[in-house]
Amino acid sequence: MTERGHVPPELVDYDAERSRFSWDAAQAQLDGLPGGRGLNIAHEAVDRHVAHGRGDVVALRWLGKDGSRRDITYTELSESSAQWANALDTLGVAPGDTVFTLLGRVPELYVTVIGALKHRNVVSPLFSVFGPEPIRQRLELGHGRVLVTTETLYRRRIAAMRADLPELDHVVIVGDDPAPDGTVHFDDLIAAADDAWTIPPTDPEDRSLLHFTSGTTGTPKGAVHVHGAVVAHLTTSHYALDLHPGDVYWCTADPGWVTGTSYGIVAPLVHGVTSIVDEGDFEAGRWYDLLESERVNVWYTAPTAIRMLMRAGPDEAAARDLTALRLVASVGEPLNPEAVTWGEAHLGLPIHDNWWQTETGGIMIANFRGTPIRPGSMGRPLPGIDAALLERDPKGAIVLDDEGAPVVVTEPDREGELALRVGWPSMFRGYLGQPERYEACFVGDWYRSGDLARRDADGYFWFLGRADDVIKSAGHLIGPFEVESALIEHPAVYQAGVIGVPDPMAGEVVKAFVALRPGHEPNDDLRLELIGFARKKLGPAVAPRDIAFDQHLPVTKSGKIMRRVLKARELGLDEGDLSTLEETS
């Protein structure tokens, strides 16, 4: 393990590092498959370390809810993931088929992800607290062939709709419970499989990961990533997370979200460090105990968790020896300046905010360990990343110049839409089955993030808000349409509009406004019933925290709920142009 201050930062001279960086040189740090057979994430994350004599290093230190511990070395992870690749072969699963996981933070999840990537399957992790409807929707959209889950989750979320998922050929059960009818047990498959597997040739453009992200309308978007993204996983965690050999690293994000996959599984393994895998949920005292006892060097967490630690008070932090901690980073939503300075006062380190998206596949903008932090800022673009602000017209369209190129905002502290010049390795390659939606994300050579920002005179970017209505709650992206659709399935609900409202802990929480059908009266009992109905269908992370009754929701003439008007009314802001609203009595 490495102690604070004894390891120099990976990036000190920002301008010099940007000028000499190239993605080709970054890729040269990886091995590639033996014999020049391409580039595969699983090889670079696990087998490469074994081949270089580092197989005895602990890859995963798993801490169970019951207090149990298990260390898994790179050699053990290589062998068990090879067994899973062989098991997939035995099941008749073909390369390119999609393997879904619906699991908590258990060792089998990591074996499944690495083994499926070895087998050249597409891996799509699902959040384990999703309700049945989000699970069904994603399995259908992703053409799920295999699902790895637990007996409890299968019985509660999957079994009743299994017949409606004809492409789901195999459900594999993890844990000590017997496998229900129509499923097979993970341990049985592993026990019967060989622990050696030769990864077939893998093109860097072969699909590897499928992450679903919510939009403001329509179905969730399945962002497709490729094996070549591993170059960005290596590089971004080098610069933004300052990972070094021998580090103990802890990413608190659930692997059902892109952060928990890119930086909870792939990036630390590619660097060959030891990752803490904590099965338990947040509890301030226990988290401090873990940071102290495991001598964590680099900690990647979310603003919600930081705010919860702040609420626990300074005494919890003061009682711990956190001198092993070298870097604390945060992602998922903008980090308020008070949290940055709180970290410096009570953890002995400022908290480094950074910015990226499901579509970018990796960290794009960051506050670096070796350069000054601007509290409240996202930071500056990583080496290899060109970021700019694009001019928008009053309707939100990108302004083009006389030659048809987007107009870039050059003056400091002016608002624009944050955009990235295309070409970084982890950029998503499409939305599954939605080419028009994908093309709409680009203008010229720029990827449009949909986030509004400003840039100061020194090149630091500052988040201002979303250009659309996606809700960011405790680091999770929640599509209003998905929540509205679930609420409308209740027999009492005629229409529903969903927004995010500010919350001191989660950043935003979901609030729904519903119009009732004739014969139903608004009251507290119905409000609680609707909240429970949504929680059952969507899961507690997605369902609304509050519901208001409104028989005159702002609706356009084409029938679209005007969420911006709902939000303006909720927050007491200017409602803006109402010319497209349907007349109401």
- What are 93-143's pLDDT values in tens digits? 999 999 999 999 999 999 999 999 999 999 999 998 888 999 999 999 999
> What percent of the chain has a predicted confidence (pLDDT) above 70?
96
Please name every residue paired with 70 in a beta bridge, in sequence order, or none if there are none.
62
Give yes or no for a contact between 287 and 325, defined as CB atoms under 8 angstroms apart. Answer: no
pLDDT bucket at 72, cuts 50 / 70 / 90? very high
Instruction: Look at residue 1 and tell me whether its pLDDT is greater than 50.
Output: no
Instruction: Count CB neighbours of 231 within 10 A.
Output: 25
| pLDDT of amino acid 215 | 61
CATH number of the domain encompassing residue 378 = 3.40.50.12780
- Which residue, among 374, 369, 200, has the nearest Cα to 298 in the 3D structure? 369
**Structural contact between residues 547 and 527, judged by C-beta atoms closer than 8 angstroms:** yes
Q: How many CA atoms lie within 13 A of 28 on its CB side?
A: 5
How many domains does the chain divide into?
A: 3
Residue 494 has pLDDT above 90, yes or no: no
Question: How many degrees, rounded to 5, is the angle at CA 234 between CA 230 and CA 236?
Answer: 110
Same domain, 259 and 342: yes
> Is 49 part of a structural domain of the chain?
no
Residues 248 and 370 in one domain: yes
Residue 534, pLDDT above cutoff 70: yes
pLDDT tens digits along 375-397: 999 999 999 999 999 999 988 89
Looking at residue 335, what DSSP letter applies?
Answer: P
Are 378 and 460 found together in one domain?
no
Query: In Å, how far are 7, 280, 418 from 452, measured between CA atoms?
Result: 36, 35, 6
244 and 349 inside one domain: yes
Q: In angstroms, rounded to a whole number, what is the distance separating the alpha carbons of residues 79 and 580?
A: 61
DSSP secondary-structure letter at 531?
H
Q: In the predicted model, what is the mean pLDDT of the chain? A: 93
Would residue 43 count as lying in a domain?
A: no
Question: What is the C-alpha to C-alpha distance for residues 224 and 567, in angstroms, rounded to an integer?
Answer: 32
pLDDT of residue 4: 55
Tokens of 279: 């099965």
Confidence band for 330, pLDDT divided at 50, 70 and 90:
very high
**Within this chain, do residues 362 and 236 fall inside the same structural domain, yes or no?**
yes
Average pLDDT over every residue of 264-286: 95
Question: What is the share, in percent, of the chain residues with pLDDT greater than 90?
Answer: 78
Task: With cut-offs at 50, 70 and 90, classify the pLDDT of residue 218.
Answer: low
Q: Is residue 333 part of a domain?
A: yes
Quote the domain boundaries for residue 504: 472-571
Do 404 and 532 reside in the same domain of the chain? no
Residue 471 pLDDT: 86
Residue 475: pLDDT band (50, 70, 90) is: confident
Q: Which two tokens stand for residue 204?
A: 């860097």
Whether residue 514 is found in the same domain as residue 529: yes
Residue 536 has what pLDDT? 94
Among 205-219, 315-329, 417-431, the range scoring the smallest mean pLDDT is: 205-219
290 secondary structure, DSSP code: H
pLDDT of residue 578: 64
Residue 564 sits in a domain whose CATH number is: 3.30.300.30
- Does residue 176 lie in a domain region? no
Average pLDDT over residues 344-353: 94
For residue 273, being part of any structural domain is answered with yes
**Whether residues 521 and 543 fall in one domain:** yes
Strands (E), 261-397: 274-278, 298-301, 327-330, 351-355, 365-366, 380-381, 387-390
Please indicate, yes or no, if residue 556 is contained in any of the structural domains: yes
Of 473, 499, 471, the C-alpha closest to 484 is 499
Q: What is residue 307's predicted lDDT score, i.e. its pLDDT?
A: 83
Q: How many CB atoms lie within 10 A of CB 326?
A: 22
Write the CB contacts of 149 (distance below 8 Å, at least 6 apart in sequence).
101, 102, 103, 157, 158, 171, 172, 173, 174
Q: What is the DSSP letter of 300?
A: E
Verify that 482 and 394 share a domain, yes or no: no
Domain match, 361 and 397 both: no
pLDDT above 70 (res 332): yes
Same domain, 299 and 402: no
Residue 98 lies inside a defined structural domain of this protein: no
CB atoms under 10 Å from CB of 368, counted, come to 24
pLDDT at 436 over 70: yes
pLDDT of residue 585: 35
Residue with tokens 């939606």: 437
**What confidence tens digit (pLDDT) does each residue in 16-64 have?**
999 999 999 999 999 999 999 999 999 999 999 999 999 999 999 999 9
pLDDT higher than 80, residue 583: no
Nearest to 29 by CA among 341, 243, 325: 243
377 shares a domain with 342: yes
In a domain, 550, yes or no: yes
- Kindly give the residue spans of alpha helices, DSSP state H, lying in 7-59: 14-20, 23-27, 41-42, 48-51
Sign for the pseudo-dihedral over CA of 357, 360, 364, 369: positive
